Structure 1
Amino acid sequence: MGRPRTPLLDRERITETALHLVDEQGEFTVPQIARRLGVQTGSVYHHVDGRDGIVELLRERVAAAIDPGTLDEVPWDTALEAWARSYRAAFAAHPRTIPMLMTSPVRAPGVLAQYERAVSMLLDAGFADVDVMPLISALEIIVLGSAIDLAAPERLWEPTDRTATPRLARALAAAGEGRADSAFEVALTAFLAHARDVRAGGDGR
C-alpha cells in the first residue's frame, strides 16, 4: 500500500484542530486533538513540544492576523492606535483563546518579534525604557478585554420591574447599539492621551 500523498499529521493540522476546539469549548486536550485527527496521542507529541508548545502555536496562529505594518505608520501615536485596532480584530475572531494565552508566558518567536517592533517604535519615539512595558501591558488589557467584550451580549445589564434602577435604564437606552465598540473608543482615547502625556514628561509618567 502506497504512502499517502499528504502527511496525516503536521504542526499546521495540530494548530488548526486545537484552535477549532478552543473556539468551540474554550479549551483543548492533546487526546482530543488526536481523536479529531484520527491518530494516537503519542503521535501528536512527535510534532509539538507538549501542551505548552501547542499553546504557543495557537498564539502565533491568532497573532498572525495582526498587521505588523501598522507599527511603521507615523507619527508614533497613529502607529500605536492602528496596531491596537488590528490586534483587537485578530483576537476578536478567537476570543476564547484569550484566557489561555494570557496565563502563559509569550515564547512564540513570531509574536516576540512583533513586540520587539512595538518596543522599538516607542523607544525611537522618545519614550524612556521604564515607560515602555507598562504602556504595552496597559494597551493589551484594553485590546484583549475589548475583544472578549465583543463576544458578550450587547445588553449586559437587564433591569427588571423588580429592581429600582431607573437611571441605569435611562443610561442604557441612551447608549443605543454598539456598546462594546463605544467602550473601546473611550478606553483607547484615554490610553493615547496618557501615552502622549508620558512622552512629554507630564504627570502620567
Structure 2
Amino acid sequence: MGRPRTPLIDRERITTVALRLVDEHGEFSVPAIARELGVRTASLYHHVDGRDGIVELLRERVCAAIDASALGALPWDAALAAWARSYRAAFAAHPRAIPLLMAAPVRAPRVLGQYEAAVRALLDAGFAARDVLTVIIALENLVLGSALDLAAPDTMWELGDDTARTPLLARALAAGPEGREASFELALGACLDRFRALLDEGS
C-alpha cells in the first residue's frame, strides 16, 4: 500500500487538535496530540519544531482572528482602540490559551507583523521610541486581563445571607454593574487618555 492521498497529519491538523486540548484542559502535550491524530509521536516532529513550534502555531491561529487593519489606517488612538477590541475578542474565544502563550516569546512572523504595524502607528503619531512598547504592553495587560474576565463567573462576589460585614459591597452589587463591556470600555478610555497625555509630554 502506498501513502494515503490525504496526509494523516499536517500543521493545520496539529494546531486544531492542540487548540482543542488547550480549550478543554488548559494544556497540551505532543504525545496527546499524536494520540488524537492516530499517529506516532515522532511523526509530529516532521511537521513542527517540537512543543515550542506548536505554541507558535497556536499563537498564529488565535491571533489570526485579530483585525489589525485599523493600524495605520485610522488616527492612532482610534486604531489602538479598534485593535484592542478585536484582540480581546480573539483571546476571549480561547481564554485558557492566554497563560500558555504569555509564557513564551512571540516568534510567529504574522503575529510580529501586527506589532510592527502598531509600533509604526505610534511612531508616526509622534510617540517617543522609548514609550512605544510601554504603551503596547499596557494595552495588552488591559486586553488580556479583560479577555480572562469574560471567562469568569457572572458573579464574582458571593455574600450569602449575612451582609452586615460588607454593607457597602452589598449595596454596590444591588445597584447592579453595567457589565463587562462597560468596564472594558471605561478602562480602555482611561488608557487612551493616559497615552494622549504621554504623547503630549513627549512632544
| TM-score, normalising length: structure 2 | 0.95
Stretches of 4+ aligned residues off by more than 3 angstroms: none
Matches of 1:137 and 1:52, distance apart in 2: 22
Q: Alignment identity in percent?
A: 68
What corresponds to 2:36 in structure 1?
36
Question: Is 1:110 equivalent to 2:98 in the alignment?
Answer: no
CA contact (8 A) 2:72 2:120 kept: no
In structure 1, stretches of 5+ residues that fail to align are none
Q: Report the Cα offset of residue 71 of structure 1.
A: 1.0
Matches of 1:82 and 1:103, distance apart in 2: 25
What corresponds to 1:58 in structure 2?
58
Provide Cα deviations, 1:119-148, integer angstroms capped at 9, x if missing partner: 000000000000000110000000001000
Provide Cα deviations, 1:75-109, integer angstroms capped at 9, x if missing partner: 11000100000100111111100001111111111
Matches of 1:188 and 1:176, distance apart in 2: 17
* Paired letter, 2:69: G
Provide Cα deviations, 1:35-84, integer angstroms capped at 9, x if missing partner: 00000000011111110010000001000000121213321100010000
Q: Secondary structure at 2:66's aligned position in 1?
A: coil
Matches of 1:106 and 1:161, distance apart in 2: 48
Q: Report the Cα offset of residue 161 of structure 1.
A: 2.5
Matches of 2:105 and 2:82, distance apart in 1: 25
Question: Is 1:46 equivalent to 2:46 in the alignment?
Answer: yes
Moved more, 164-173 or 92-101: 164-173
Matches of 2:188 and 2:177, distance apart in 1: 20
Q: Report the Cα offset of residue 186 of structure 1.
A: 1.7
Q: Secondary structure at 1:68's aligned position in 2?
A: coil
Q: Report the Cα offset of residue 162 of structure 1.
A: 3.7
Q: Secondary structure at 1:152's aligned position in 2?
A: coil
Matches of 1:128 and 1:153, distance apart in 2: 40
Give the superposed CA RMSD. Answer: 1.4
Matches of 2:183 and 2:140, distance apart in 1: 15
Matches of 1:139 and 1:116, distance apart in 2: 15
Q: Report the Cα offset of residue 6 of structure 1.
A: 1.1
1:177 to 1:191, Cα distance in 2 relative to 1, 3 A: closer
